Amino acid sequence: MADAEAHGHGGETRRDFILLLGNAMAVVGVGALAWPLIDSLSPAADTKAASTTEVDLAPIKAGQRVSVKWRGSPVFIEHRTPETIARAVKDDKVSMPDPQPDAERHQEGKAQWLVMVGVCTHLGCIPLGQNTGDKRGDYGGWFCPCHGSHYDASGRIRKGPAPKNLPVPDYRFVTDTRIVIGEKPKKPAA
């Protein structure tokens, strides 16, 4: 041992080097074997694609409502007029079963676009109000024909057995006229 220190080896031997090399190779081997298992836990590309829906808003005229499919459910998109927005904001002060101001039902600076999952929160029926001539209920929004829930111009429950407002899904604007439903909005740079 004193001879190894005298020659500047500090007690390191060929055996130490081989053990270190062996351990490093074992770690690499475990990683190579574990990666396929870890990668298999990620959703497939086709599953990821089905979890989002891209919608072009450009053809939707002010006052028009359209429906798109997302994750097997209808999503109601309305291009609201200034009058509709004013009515929804005015109704913020009214007593509601699930109080929520209109400002929390759309993205900041995009009040003209209302995006909601079109499934009644009572028992899962599809409310009327998307098509011209549909009954829109007592509050000018949507009406569920199954059990009589009435939603206002912001999709908030106002009357009937539904316990909650029509849900607003995660969505983000890709451009001023294109959204992706199923993705959280990007945070503005600070």
Task: For residue 133, give the 3-state DSSP assignment.
Answer: coil
Q: What CATH number is given to the structural domain containing 104?
A: 2.102.10.10
Query: With 50 as the cut, is the pLDDT of residue 1 above it?
Result: no
Q: What is the pLDDT of residue 143?
A: 97
Beta carbons within 8 Å of 75's beta carbon, 6+ residues apart: 53, 67, 68, 69, 115, 116, 117, 118, 169, 181
- Whether residue 189 is contained in a domain is answered as no
Same domain, 12 and 106: no
> Which structural domain, as residue segments, surrounds residue 30?
2-40
Same domain, 73 and 142: yes
Nearest to 105 by CA among 96, 7, 32, 24: 96
CA angle 71, 48, 34 (to 5 degrees): 135
Q: State yes or no: is 147 an active-site residue.
A: yes
Catalytic residue among 79, 122, 147, 150: 147
| pLDDT tens per residue across span 111-142 | 999 999 999 999 999 999 999 899 999 999 99
| pLDDT tens per residue across span 57-116 | 999 999 999 999 999 999 999 999 999 999 999 999 999 999 999 999 999 999 999 999
